[in-house]
Structure 1
Amino acid sequence: MALDGCDRSSTRSGAQGNVITLSFWNGFTGGDGTYIRKLVDDFNKATPHIQVRMNAYMWIDLFQKLAGAVISGQAPDVAVMHVDDIPTNAARSLITPIDEVARALGLEASAYTSRVVWEGGVYRGKRYGIPLDMHPLGMFYNKAVLRKAGLNPDKPPRTGDEYMAVLEELKGKGIQGHWVTPFLFTGRFQFETLLWQFGGELFDPEGTRATFDSEAGVRALTWMVDLVKKGYSPANVSQDADYIALQNGRNAFNWNGIWQINGLKDVPGLEWGAAPVPRIGTQDAVWGNSHQFVLPRQHSVDPARQEAARTFIQWMSQRSLEWLKSAKIPVLKSVAESAEFKSMEAESQFARQSEYIRFPPAVAGIADAMLMVEKAVSQGVLGRASPEEALKAAAAQATQVVQHNRKKYGA
């Protein structure tokens, strides 16, 4: 949804009188679009000398449009992208280093809730992103289903043993408690979470070889496959059926993204809770991602526009509490420790995972290789190959992809 057109005749000219008009692009076309639009409106009211015109596109369209805009000299002044998209766009010179902006705003690692989110905006030793939020996987649970099965609806399981004991209890009552899907949402995210919990990694530190077919990877995918084989999950679960089943009382647990919070709030009469993903493996870990501010490359540098863009980023960052209502968790410690955020019950549960949220490696073109992870999960969950076979074949393909991308983007 394009919220406003990009009038480069005004934005390129810098100031119109005493007003600078900035162009801001993002991919917030879902429920979070309402929140970002309100924040931009509030900024425009608060800063009459700087006005922001926002365009929101589907994420996949955003990157295609950004490439064309940069090449033609029509790039937006500020944009937002996911942390795992930063390396590719930096390698393509579509965004520029933002170290000076971070220093000018006095941003330091110690102010953030997670080392990973602060370092997530760095590619090849240079900062390209300033964190806005994190949005991890977590566990939703149906309190009514647990109560009906004679279980404590206010004490969700935290360990692997506790989790399996509850699933077994539910199975005895005819309830398949955890539905496993073969899709990105949320099968792949669950696999990555479990891989890290069992001590594995997706790729080697240099991003030259896939390693998700390790013993840890096999244990992770086997755990998921066994839920189907042993009857804790139905087979061939369709996209989002696990989430819908939670709402309909057909399952008890759903590992899903924090972005589902507001949807559950709108379900009449649903008794639900949120909690961190249980520690199934040997250590705490959970999949997550982050939206970060970036500066697209311009054909010419205008100091006044740079200062205006910095003002906008700072203003938005300082008002992240309003943004968190769109179902995100804070990246700044000051916000995470505030009474206002702690009163956001479900979001606070997801935020308990902040210190051990994990991102894919900062490697250009990594999204191409991650498709192979998704393929392995699908093959395993659907029973088309054993976990070992599915992971081995996918890892070999993923290694070819990352090696090709090293040549494409430079080692």
Structure 2
Amino acid sequence: MLRFAKCVLVATSLLASSAHAQETVAWWDFLSGGDGVRMKQLISDFNKAHEGSIKIEATTLEWGTPFYSKVQTAASVGEAPDIMTYHASRIPLAVKQGILQEITPDDWTKMGLAKSDYADTTWNAVSIDSKQYAVPFDTHPIVLYYNKDLLAKAGLLTEAGKPKGLDSAANFEATLKGLKDAGVKFPLGSVTADGNFMFRTVYSLMGQQDGELLTGGEFLAGDNGEKLQNALALLQGWTKDGLQSSYTDYPATVALFTSGEAAMMINGVWEVPTMVDLKKQGKLFEWGAVELPVLFKHPSTYADSHTFAIPANKGKEMTAEKKKAVLEVISWLSKHSLYWASAGHIPAYGPVTASAEYKAMEPNASYSSLTANMIFDPKTPLAGVAGPIFDVMSTYFVPTLNNEMDPAKAVKEIKSELNDL
């Protein structure tokens, strides 16, 4: 009898320890550089806060096509991670491929997150047919970086410390010409050797005209081709007049700005840590970053979102315990995303960006207003980071922006090739 009682106690003890065993969450991301450093810190903070209950085991893979190809392959054989970072622009293709789990209304309730916590544009970016397939973590738009010292010297800085002429194409071009007349080598540094990057700027300018890439299944329908042509012609004119750098790749663009050769630069918010670090080291001038100038009808800026998604692993159902742990990971990171803002990104979780701490962050607070003016990629499996739309358009953007191809001809070729897709 005593031996039986001991066996019962041992079995009960094992069941109890099993019930409270640490849950390991397999994580994949594509984050490197400054945002990669910050994500690693957030994961470390999460693991410390959940010691003994949940542990994230993180792996960083190569950004772009390699990452998404690996996810697709892994999910098809049940070997994808428990959670991963995912670009919102890639979600339509992922849903078509069947490699993402839906984030159900019950999941949102368990995470303590809701639609009202997010900007409508951001929420819609992760929604397909009224179902959500990811949780937005941030938005990462492009912005206008500027050298306050050079602009002030040329008399082109406002009393608020921003560049003059942000309200129209004519006024902004006057600022660019003023910088050139003041002896600045490149008034504007632009990534003109990389059409994939320039998509962001061109699409923003289409959005400023209420332009659409895809309408009812047709690319550049109606007058949308004309709106694309307007954007390309404007940017080509800057190159022709020597107002922006030509055939400049991404690293060279950053170098032109940080060296003081370019007075302004259009680039992603993810370069904010670069500027912050250089300034701390005493290697950078006074600088700022603001929403893109209004060059057409109204503000509009291209953006994408880093999101958290849960793979649909074929033949491998997630246990209730694992799902609970994954939802806790997403919830905790979303609610602690203020630190993520130091990577330049705008946290998607509204209570964070509404906080006094975020509003005191610069230059983040200066450009966070663009959240109300964002446009995302069209919802099609052809869109998204490293997708076919990017490839087609970038082929024509480079020669056009560098004054080697007529904008009207570029639009004609782009429209033909996109609709052939």
TM-score surpassing 0.5?
yes
- SS of alignment partner, residue 325 of structure 1: helix
- SS of alignment partner, residue 31 of structure 1: helix
User: In structure 2, what is the Cα distance between the partners aligned to 1:375 and 1:16?
Assistant: 56
Matches within 5 A, 1:270-281: 270-281=285-296
User: In structure 2, what is the Cα distance between the partners aligned to 1:16 and 1:109?
Assistant: 33
Match of 2:321 in 1: 304
User: In structure 1, what is the Cα distance between the partners aligned to 2:131 and 2:90?
Assistant: 15
- SS of alignment partner, residue 178 of structure 1: strand
**Does the aligned pair in 1 maintain the 2:93–2:381 contact within 8 Å?**
yes
Q: Is 1:348 paired with 2:365?
A: yes
Matches within 5 A, 1:107-256: 107-112=113-118, 114-152=119-157, 154-157=161-164, 158-160=166-168, 161-175=170-184, 176-180=186-190, 181-184=192-195, 186-204=197-215, 206-211=216-221, 214-256=225-267
Higher Rg:
2
1:331 to 344, 348, 354: 348
Matches within 5 A, 1:19-168: 19-47=22-50, 48-59=52-63, 60-99=65-104, 100-112=106-118, 114-152=119-157, 154-157=161-164, 158-160=166-168, 161-168=170-177
In structure 2, runs of 5+ residues without a counterpart are 1-17
User: In structure 2, what is the Cα distance between the partners aligned to 1:361 and 1:238?
Assistant: 26
Over the matched positions of the two proteins, sequence identity in percent amounts to 26
User: In structure 2, what is the Cα distance between the partners aligned to 1:150 and 1:301?
Assistant: 61
**Does the aligned pair in 1 maintain the 2:229–2:408 contact within 8 Å?**
yes
User: In structure 2, what is the Cα distance between the partners aligned to 1:313 and 1:263?
Assistant: 27
1:393 to 401, 407, 413: 413
**Does the aligned pair in 2 maintain the 1:185–1:240 contact within 8 Å?**
no
- SS of alignment partner, residue 273 of structure 1: strand
In structure 1, runs of 5+ residues without a counterpart are 1-14, 402-411
Match of 1:282 in 2: 297
Shift of 1:234: 4.0
User: In structure 1, what is the Cα distance between the partners aligned to 2:246 and 2:47?
Assistant: 51
Shift of 1:304: 1.3
- SS of alignment partner, residue 113 of structure 2: coil
What do residues 261-294 of structure 1 show as CA deviations (whole Å, max 9, x unaligned)?
1111222132211111110010110011101111
Which consecutive aligned stretches of 4+ in structure 1 deviate over 4 angstroms post-superposition? none
Equivalent pairs, count: 385
**Does the aligned pair in 1 maintain the 2:142–2:269 contact within 8 Å?**
yes
User: In structure 2, what is the Cα distance between the partners aligned to 1:43 and 1:90?
Assistant: 29
**Does the aligned pair in 2 maintain the 1:330–1:351 contact within 8 Å?**
no
